[in-house]
Every structure is written in C-alpha cells, then in structure tokens.
Amino acid sequence: MDKNQIPAIGIDLGGTKILAGLVSGCRLLGEPVKVPTPKGPDKIIDTILDIIAQFQKDNIVLGVGISTAGIVDPNSGEVLGSTGNLPGWEGTALKTIIQNKTALRTVVENDANSAAYGECHAAGLGYKTCVIMVTLGTGIGGGVILQGKLYRGAHYAGGEIGHIKISMDNRRRCTCNLWDCWETYGSGRGLQATGWELLGGVSEAQTPLAAKRDRLTTQDIIDAAGSGDIIAKKALDLYHEHVAVGMVALCHSLDPDCFVISGGMSKFVDLKQLKDLLADRTLPRVSEKLEIYPSCLGEAAGLVGAGQLVLDAVAEVEQVSVAG
Ligand SMILES: [Zn+2]
C-alpha cells in the first residue's frame, strides 16, 4: 500500500457522543462509528481505547487524532481548560495516556480547531492567507487557519471567538460568566433569548408564539418565521445582525479570505443576507472579495480534522528527516 494512503484514526469526543472513523486525504473513509459518551474520564479513555483497538483489527493506521472539548495544549496533549460538557475531564493527560497504551502517534486538539482544520483542507483552502471557521450551535465555536496552519494563540485559546464581547450593557450572561459574549446573541440560545425579549408584552392575539414565550425553542421561531409571523421574522433578522456583528470584529482584526459557517444553526442562516450585512458594516477593502462558504464536512469535521492533523504531523517529521 502506498504510504501516502495509510489512514489515521480520527476521533471526535463530544459531550453526548463519540464519533470515530478512518481518515485519509482529508476525507472520511466509510461510515463513522458512533457511541454514546460514557460518564467520567476513566470510562471515556477505555471507550477511546476500545474504538482504536477495533479499527486496528482490520487496518494499518499511521496514528490517532482526538478532537475534544476544552482548551488543549497540543504539545503535551493535555486538556487544560474547563469543559462543562465533560465533567472531570480537565487535567487529563490524554495524549500521553493514549500514546503509551497504543504505541500510536497521537494528536489531541480542541474540537473547534480540529473542525476548522478539517473544513479548511477538505475544501482545498489551505493555501489561503486566513480562513476562519464559525460554528453556530448552542454556543459559538471557531477556529482560525493561517496559511494552512492552525493559529492557537499564546495561551492555546486563539479562536475562542464565541466570547468576543459585542455589547456594553451587561444584558446577557454567558455560560463562561462574562457578559454579552457573541454567543449569548449569535447562537441557538441567543436566538431563543431574542425571541423571548421580543415577545415581552405581546399578546397571543398578535402572535401564537406569545403562548410559548417561556418555553420557546429555536425551531418554534424558525417555523413561525417560515409561515410569515412578523415577530419571528424580526427575531430571525436580528439573529443575522447578531451573527454578523462578531464576524465584523473578526474581519477587522484578521482580514480573512473567507469564512466557513457550520453548526446546527447554520442551516437557518441566509448566507446572502449575511454577506450583505458584512458589506454594510466593514471597510470596503475588507469585504470586497470576502467569501462565505457553508461547511462541507458537516458533523464529521472534528474527526476528519483530528485525523488529518496526525497525517500532516507524520508527513512533516518525514520531510524534516529527508531534508536532514
Ligand atoms: Zn462567554
């Protein structure tokens, strides 16, 4: 087998499920394996080791890449930052544990960074100066890729774009405990909060949504907007404004070639409307050639990116040894 085609195992460790698959050429080979995330670090590690062993039964692999929530030191592979979705996970020396138990080259990377890396390279955008991925879900995640490489920042918290402060009036508290972070407006939770605010003092005669005010879901708002409800449409328009405002901050700090928009909320975002908003709110030079692309990997982005990070790390070592 051509060495360039030997795959890596990519594993995406999420709060509720673990997705894993073989990755080669920034593509997922076959269907991913999906298992529920067990409770507690020891059980999670056992599950990851089981998955690796299963893949190794039938395949030769170059290494394993793990995408995980939390801030990760990519050199030590340790999970540094808190991860609300995975209690007790902080402080886990994940790379050392997996590498020692499997003897496979192991890369551990933050989930949003892994996804950004996967999306950027799967779309053939690795040659661009700056690609920013924005994941619109329950919160907002992101990753910044500069000339094909992840930008991790001085404290491995680069790309934590969901916590850009977008307002000064301390109205919405973020899960991080800061006020008015971008994700308190531009995420699914943000859209819910906007709907709730707009429905204050509105009667059921004006909109049927008023009856649901305290248990409003994003889907309620989307459905009502689709059937012409004026308040729901206003919430959705405001949502686009809220998504745009964080992107405007990113445009003026990093001047990207393009954004890739992914995540569960991205299907409700009209990219044309978003592009027009950015054109209105940025310096012309910044937005003239700016592109906004939808995700091409979907929920496989994290595992594909993590797997590709290992493949690229191995290739880099080989290049250095050939050159030396
Ligand atoms: Zn925050």
Q: Is the dihedral of CA 102, 103, 105, 108 positive or negative?
A: positive
- Shared domain for 55 and 163, answered yes or no, is no
Say if residues 171 and 179 touch (Cβ distance below 8 Å). yes
Alpha carbon of 172 to ligand 1 centroid (Å):
10
Cα Rg, the chain, nearest whole Å: 21
- Shared domain for 235 and 173, answered yes or no, is yes
- Give the residue carrying structure tokens 């449409």: 233
Alpha carbon of 243 to ligand 1 centroid (Å):
15
Alpha carbon of 43 to ligand 1 centroid (Å):
29
- Report the interhelical angle of 271-281 vs 230-254 (nearest 10°): 50
- Shared domain for 64 and 163, answered yes or no, is no
Q: Model-level pTM?
A: 0.93
Q: What is the pLDDT of residues 102-127, one digit of tens each?
A: 999 999 999 999 999 999 999 999 99
Q: What is the DSSP secondary structure assignment for residue 9, as one 8-state letter? A: E
Alpha carbon of 301 to ligand 1 centroid (Å):
23
Alpha carbon of 229 to ligand 1 centroid (Å):
31
- Shared domain for 173 and 230, answered yes or no, is yes
Angle CA(158)–CA(163)–CA(167) in degrees, nearest 5? 135
- Shared domain for 260 and 312, answered yes or no, is no
- Specify the number of domains making up the chain: 2
| Cα–Cα distance, 52 to 303 (Å, whole number) | 13
Alpha carbon of 160 to ligand 1 centroid (Å):
9
* Bridge pairing between strands 258-262 and 291-294: parallel
Q: What is the pLDDT of residues 140-155, one digit of tens each?
A: 999 999 999 999 999 9
- Shared domain for 15 and 28, answered yes or no, is yes
The CATH code of the domain that includes 25 is 3.30.420.40
Alpha carbon of 183 to ligand 1 centroid (Å):
7
Say if residues 19 and 11 touch (Cβ distance below 8 Å). yes
- Shared domain for 164 and 282, answered yes or no, is yes
- Shared domain for 23 and 100, answered yes or no, is yes
Alpha carbon of 221 to ligand 1 centroid (Å):
24
Distance between first and last Cα of the chain: 26
Q: What is the DSSP secondary structure assignment for residue 259, as one 8-state letter? A: E
Q: Does the structure show a pLDDT above 70 at 2?
A: no
- Shared domain for 109 and 19, answered yes or no, is yes
**Residue that wins the pLDDT comparison between 70 and 116:** 116
Q: Retrieve residue 267's tokens.
A: 């299907």
Q: Retrieve residue 63's tokens.
A: 């290494």
Alpha carbon of 184 to ligand 1 centroid (Å):
7
Q: Does the structure show a pLDDT above 90 at 86?
A: no
- Domain ranges, residue 212: 126-295
Map residue 109 onto helix, strand or coil: strand
Alpha carbon of 269 to ligand 1 centroid (Å):
22
Sorted by sequence, the CB contacts under 8 Å of residue 121 that are 6+ apart come out as: 26, 148, 305, 308
| Cα–Cα distance, 47 to 272 (Å, whole number) | 42
- Shared domain for 102 and 148, answered yes or no, is no
- Shared domain for 67 and 134, answered yes or no, is no
Average pLDDT over residues 172-181: 94
Alpha carbon of 212 to ligand 1 centroid (Å):
27
Q: What is the pLDDT of residues 272-307, one digit of tens each?
A: 999 999 999 999 999 999 999 999 999 999 999 999
- Shared domain for 149 and 221, answered yes or no, is yes
